Structure 1
Amino acid sequence: MSRRPESERSDWTDLDLLTRDEAYGRLQEEIGLTVSRLAELGADDSAERELLDTRLRALREAAEDLNVQ
């Protein structure tokens, strides 16, 4: 039995793809962690707060996209 070289293998053959529900669940976990981290920040952590706010918006948008379709 011959195997295809790695460069020609399809992602589908690996069977490691997430379902939409699994991806949504992971995004929800990450959203929770990000919200917790934001709550821990002090007043002088504005740069990190800005980065985490941006990340949180992106995570929520991705989760919403998964939940709608």
Structure 2
Amino acid sequence: MTAFSLAKEVMQQALAQGQQQGFDEQAIARALLAEVITVYKRSRSQADIRHELEFLADNLDDDADYTFMRP
């Protein structure tokens, strides 16, 4: 199992459990993101976290190449 497949499995479990308890999918995702940031803050600078989040935001389109890739 990879870290990505484990994270996907954890997300699906959290979404299912959240729905059973009446939470909106977006609320669960936001709460999990806040927890990810908490873990990042243990060993990463604010600038590094900001860079990571900006990179992800800049590359939201699954059909586009990453901004650092050349055609």
Please state which band the TM-score falls in when normalised by the shorter chain.
Answer: 0.3 to 0.5
Higher relative contact order (CA 8 A, sep 6+): 1
TM-score by length of 1: 0.35
TM-score, normalised on structure 2? 0.34
Q: Which has the higher helix share?
A: 1
Work out which of the two has the higher radius of gyration on C-alpha atoms and give 1 or 2.
Answer: 1
